[in-house]
Amino acid sequence: MTVEMKNQNLNKTLLNRVLDEVRARRDEFETKRHVPKDMIAQLKELGIYRAHVPKCFGGDGLSPSEFLKMIEAISEADGSAGWVASFGSAQVYLAALPKETLAQVYANGPDVAFAGGLFPVQPAKKVEGGYIVNGVWKFASGCKGADLLGVGIGTGQGGKPLTAVLKPEDVEIVENWEVLGMRGTGSHDLKVKDVFVPDDWTFVRGGAPSIEEPICQYPSIAYAAQVLAVVNLGVARAALNEVSQTAGRASITGAPKMADRAYVRISIAKAEATLRSARAFFYEATDAAWESIMKGDGVSADQTSMLRLAAVQATRAGAEAVQAAYMLAGTSAIYDGHPLQRHLRDAMVVTQHAFLNESMYDGAGSVMLGVPPMPGFI
């Protein structure tokens, strides 16, 4: 066995161990309404938070598909854990910080967890050498386990959010994540009062990177949509697996088993085909953009549009597959503790994200027809 094969086996063993831990603790995440720091530590061990850290700072240099498939696997185990893990992609955002700042960020190693609550943007007071930051920001997923936190303090180049990076001790987490779906993401509000942030600890989200590595050339806003969309591919797989595993059980009413009913077989096959088709498109678009970067051609507007389109389609197809599984499961699925309850609630939350809503189809259609898309789409 080669060294490479041994490393692959070790990585697979570690992934399976982490996935088992996530499955065993997903009720805990939901009850606590966040993924605890000791679980974040295991995600760090798995390499989630160093996957896209620049190699010059000890990162692993994974391709987008490699990272996305890890998030998909974690999301199959638990949607909230997958959502929190997906913010390992934020290192692509952080590459817009100055090199000297990045050296400080990764001074103790590449396993740095970043979380942000960028909106609503709160204009900060400009002072000599930086900004005085005040305000409250929403939807800071994973904030309770983060090593660094970002908040939106204005607009930068191209109207994109200017982001201030802060230490956890400078931020108050307002625990108000009272939702039905994605409960374990801990997407609480962030509150900051009179904190000075130096200029070199701010960056424009989606701005030009200071590091010249391939992953830094990948469209960061499109990628932010992808890492969330892939969560629904994992949640949908879990939902369809749940139906398949229970289809052979006897009905409490004496009716034929689910597997013996033609409409169940037809519905599960259609859901499987829809999910696999969306997944294939998703990774096809991802790999096409990455291959273009690796060849030195960058990513075209058309390719970026396809990334956005594939992300929203994966989100919708995943949600539809979960809904189909729920409909097939019958009355057993209405109970609080049934796995499909969580899958259904989680999948519908993903569809509501601003990067993944119905307007993304309009943006992609605009690019296809040569019409200027909405601002920020490309």
- Given a contact cutoff of 8 angstroms between Cβ atoms, the answer to whether 62 and 52 are in contact is yes
CATH of 113-204, one of 1.20.1420.30, 1.10.600.10, 3.40.50.720, 2.40.110.10: 2.40.110.10
Residues of each domain in the chain carrying CATH 1.20.140.10:
218-368
- pLDDT level of residue 9 (50, 70, 90 thresholds): low
The 10s digit of each residue's pLDDT in 176-232 is 999 999 999 999 999 999 999 999 999 998 899 999 999 999 999 999 999 999 999
Asked which of 9-13, 51-55, 179-183, 235-239 is least confident by mean pLDDT, the reply is 9-13
pLDDT in tens, 139-179: 999 999 999 999 999 887 777 889 999 999 999 999 999 99
Per-residue pLDDT band at 330 (split at 50, 70, 90): confident
Task: Check pLDDT > 50 for residue 6.
Answer: no
pLDDT of residue 254: 66
H or E element in which residue 191 lies: strand 188-198
Lowest mean pLDDT among 32-36, 81-85, 156-160, 241-245: 156-160
- Where does the pLDDT of residue 7 fall: very low under 50, low under 70, confident under 90, or very high at 90 and above? low
pLDDT at 48 over 60: yes
Q: To the nearest whole number, what is the mean pLDDT of the chain? A: 94
pLDDT given for residue 363 in this prediction: 97
Q: What is the pTM for the complete model shown?
A: 0.94
pLDDT at position 159: 75
Under the banding of pLDDT at 50, 70 and 90, the label for residue 252 is low
Q: Considering the chain, tell me which residue range(s) the CATH 1.10.540.10 domain(s) occupy.
A: 3-94
pLDDT at 161: 86
* 360 confidence band (pLDDT: 50, 70, 90): very high
Out of 1.10.540.10, 1.10.3720.10, 1.10.645.10, 3.40.640.10, which CATH number does the structure's domain 3-94 have? 1.10.540.10
Per-residue b or e along 271-298, where b marks 16 or more CB atoms closer than 10 Å to that residue's CB: bbebbeebbebbbebbebbbebbeeeee
pLDDT at residue number 3 = 38
Q: How far apart are CA 282 and CA 305, in angstroms?
A: 12
Q: Encode pLDDT of 64-101 as tens digits.
A: 999 999 999 999 999 999 999 999 999 999 999 999 99
pLDDT for 1 beyond 70: no
> What is the DSSP secondary-structure string of 151-186?
EEEEE-GGGPEEEEEE-GGG-EEE-----SSSGGG-
Per-residue confidence (pLDDT) for residue 269, from 0 to 100: 97
CA distances from 82 to 26, 89, 145, 299, 366 (A): 11, 12, 14, 27, 31
| pLDDT for residue 160 | 82
How many C-beta neighbours within 10 Å does residue 185 have?
Answer: 31
Q: Letter for the amino acid at 250?
A: A
Q: What is the pLDDT of residues 300-309, one digit of tens each?
A: 999 999 999 9
Q: Is 70 exceeded by the pLDDT of residue 235?
A: yes
Question: Quick one: average pLDDT of 52-69?
Answer: 96
Residues 334-348 pLDDT 10s: 998 899 999 999 999
Average of pLDDT values for 130-136?
97
Q: How far apart are the C-alpha atoms of 305 and 314, rounded to whole Å?
A: 14
pLDDT in tens, 274-298: 999 999 999 999 999 999 999 999 9
Q: Fold for domain 218-368?
A: Butyryl-CoA Dehydrogenase, subunit A; domain 3 (1.20.140)
In the chain, CATH 2.40.110.10 sits at 113-204
